Amino acid sequence: MEFSIKALSPESAKAGCVVLGVYANKELTPPAKRVDQASRGALSAALADLPGKAGATLLLRGLPGVAAERVLLVGLGERKQLAEPAFRDAVRGAAAALRELGAKDAVLTLVDLAVGKRPVSWNVRHAVLGLREAFYRFDQLKTQKKPGAPALAEVILPLSAKAELQAALKEAAATADGMALARTLGNLPPNICTPSYLAEEAGRIAKQFKLPLKVLERREMEKLGMGSFLAVARGSHQAPKLIVLRYNGGKKGKKPLALVGKGITFDTGGISLKPAGEMDEMKYDMSGAASVLGTIRALAGMKAPVNVVGIIPACENMPGGAATKPGDVVTTLSGQTVEILNTDAEGRLILCDALTYAERFEPEAVIDIATLTGACVIALGHVATGLFSNDDKLAAEIIAAADDAWDRVWRMPLWEDYQEQLRSNFADMANIGGRPAGSVTAACFLARFTKKQRWAHLDIAGTAWRGGREKGSTGRPVPLLVRLALRKP
C-alpha cells in the first residue's frame, strides 16, 4: 500500500473511492460539502442512511458531477468532541469498508480534520497506521487463499505537501512495516517460530539494513554465567539464543536506548505445567522479542537518527527430564541467587540475565518488553500496557510517547513494600511473590537487576494479542517504542 500527499479537490479526483467525513448531526466536513455541491445535493440526500456513530459508513456510487467511481461517507461522531478515539474509529471504519469493496485506490480526506489539539502530522501518522493495520493479513499457512479483489494499492492524502507531513508519512509507513513484522512473528506457530527462527529473522533485518548482529549460543552464555536464562531453556530440545541486534543511525558515541524483549517462543509452564485450555496462546510469549525486532525494523526503515540496541533472550519453556524443577536454586549473571518456586514464572528468569547483560552497552535507558504476567491482564485488560519504572522522567517520556502513539500505558507501583513477597528461605530471592499484585511482584523481581540503570518495564501480556474470534497478534507496543526512540530528550 503506497501513500502520497497531494493537494487535490475531492470532486475532481479520479479515484476508485473518495472518503468523506460527516458529523453525527449530519454536518458535512469541508471536502464533503464540495462534493455535495458538485453533485447538486446528491450527498445530502443520502445522509439519512448514515448512522451517527463514529466509524459508521455509507457507500454511494456514480454520483453526478463527481469524478471518483464511489464516495464513502464515514461518521465522525459529535463535532464538538472530535478527539483521538473518534478519529481512529473513523479511519478504521473507512478501512474496513474499503477492504470490503476492493477499491484499488482511494482518496482519504479525513486527514485535514482538527483532532483535539493534535497537529495534522498526527492525523497522517494515524491514518497510515490505521489503514495498514486493517489490511494486514496472515494467510501464509492457508492452502486456499481467500479469492478477492486486489488490495488497496494507493492512498492519497489530500493535503499540501509540507516537509513535516512527508516526514510523518515516512515514519508511519516504516512503523507499519515494523508492526506487521511483529504481528507476523507473533502469529507464526511455535513449531515454526522457534528461538533459531527469531535469530534468523534478526539476521534478515541485519542483512537488509546492514546492521550489526551478534547471536550468543548456549556455550557462550554458560561462560558468561547466565544461570537463570539457561535454567529456563533446559527442558527444551530447541537451542536457546541471545540475539543482539543494533541500529546506529544517531551520532557516534551517543548512548543507545536498550530494548530487551522476552522471547519465549512457547510457554508450557515447564514442570509447573499450565492447564490445557488455550495453551496455544502461549506462542505469543515472544511478543516482547517481536516488538523489539519490529521497532528496529521501523527505525532502520525510516533511517531514524537514533542509536538502539535490541537484546532478545529466546528459548522455549518446556517440561522434560532435564527441565528445571520447583525448588532449584540458580545463580544469575548478576551473581544473585534465585529459588525457582514455580517454573511458569520464567519470563523474569530470562529477562534478569538479559537486563544485566544490557549494562555493558551503557545505555541511556533500558526498557524491557514482556508478556510477563496473567495478573497484568486482570489488572488492565487488553487496553493499557502495564508500565513500571525506577525513573520518573523516563516514565513520563514513555507515557507521552504512548499517548501520542495511542498505544497507551498505565503506570503501576514498584514500592519496596512489595519486595517482601519475594523472600526466600534458601536463596537471595524467590521467583514468585504469590497471587496478590502478581504483575507488581514480577516487576519488583526485575527491579533487583536494574538498580544501576534507568529502567522501565512494559508488561504487554494483555495488549500484544487478542483472544476470541479475532485471535491474533496486535503488533503492540511497536508504535509506542518507535515514538519513544524518536523523542527529543
201/285 with CB nearer Zn ion: 285
Does 274 participate in catalysis according to the annotation?
yes
C-alpha span between 377 and 384 (Å, rounded): 9
From residue 9, alpha-carbon distances to 14, 74, 113, 348, 362 in Å are: 10, 18, 15, 55, 52
Q: How far is the CB of 200 from Mn ion (least distance, A)?
A: 24
Grid cell locating 384: 493499557
Q: How far is the CB of 432 from Mn ion (least distance, A)?
A: 10
167/329 with CB nearer ligand BES: 329
Asked whether the beta carbons of 78 and 22 are under 8 A apart, the reply is no
Over the window 328 to 357, marking each residue x when it contacts Zn ion by CB under 5 A and - when it does not, the resulting string is -------------------x----------
Over the window 250 to 269, marking each residue x when it contacts Zn ion by CB under 5 A and - when it does not, the resulting string is --------------x--x--
**Could you say which of 274, 325, 408, 466 is catalytic?**
274
Burial (Cβ within 10 Å: 0-12, 13-18, ≥19) of residue 142: exposed
Return the one option of ligand BES, Mn ion, Zn ion, none that residue 133 interacts with (CB less than 5 to 8 A, by type): none
For every residue of 403-468, DSSP letters joined together read HHHT--EEE----GGGGGGG--SSSSEES---STTHHHHHHHHHHTT-TTS-EEEEE-TTTSEE-S
Asked whether the beta carbons of 8 and 105 are under 8 A apart, the reply is no
Asked whether the beta carbons of 309 and 259 are under 8 A apart, the reply is yes
Q: Give, to the nearest 10 degrees, the angle between helix 287-301 and helix 195-209.
A: 10
Grid cell locating 329: 536454586
Q: How far is the CB of 66 from ligand BES (least distance, A)?
A: 49
148/320 with CB nearer Zn ion: 320
Judged by the rule CB under 5 A, the positions of this chain that interact with Mn ion are 267, 344, 346
Please name the residues in contact with 102: beta carbons below 8 A apart, sequence gap of 6 or more: 148, 149, 150
- Using DSSP bridges, classify how beta strands 241-248 and 307-317 pair: parallel, antiparallel or unpaired: antiparallel
Please name the residues in contact with 45: beta carbons below 8 A apart, sequence gap of 6 or more: none
Judged by the rule CB under 6 A, the positions of this chain that interact with ligand BES are 267, 285, 342, 344-347, 371-375, 377, 432, 438, 461
Q: How far is the CB of 265 from ligand BES (least distance, A)?
A: 11
Residue nearest to Mn ion (CB): 344
Residues in the interface with Zn ion (CB under 5 A) total: 4
175/371 with CB nearer ligand BES: 371
Does 40 participate in catalysis according to the annotation?
no
Name the segment binding Zn ion (CB under 5 A); options: 3-11, 277-285, 297-305, 450-458.
277-285
283/454 with CB nearer ligand BES: 283
C-alpha span between 345 and 19 (Å, rounded): 48
How many Cα neighbours within 13 Å face the side chain of 56?
16
From residue 402, alpha-carbon distances to 398, 405, 422, 475, 480 in Å are: 6, 5, 30, 14, 5
Among 285, 316, 353, 397, binds Zn ion (CB under 5 A): 285
**Could you say which of 262, 348, 448, 483 is catalytic?**
348
346/407 with CB nearer ligand BES: 346
Over the window 106 to 125, marking each residue x when it contacts Zn ion by CB under 5 A and - when it does not, the resulting string is --------------------
Residue 201 DSSP one-character state: H
203/374 with CB nearer ligand BES: 374
- Which helix (H) or strand (E) covers residue 339, if one does? strand 337-339
130/347 with CB nearer Zn ion: 347
Q: How far is the CB of 117 from Mn ion (least distance, A)?
A: 42
Residue nearest to Zn ion (CB): 267
Chain centroid to CA 467:
16
Q: How far is the CB of 313 from Mn ion (least distance, A)?
A: 14
How many Cα neighbours within 13 Å face the side chain of 5?
22
Q: How far is the CB of 1 from Zn ion (least distance, A)?
A: 34
Q: How far is the CB of 346 from Mn ion (least distance, A)?
A: 5
Q: Which residues bind Zn ion (CB under 5 A)?
A: 264, 267, 285, 347
- Catalytic amino acids? 274, 348
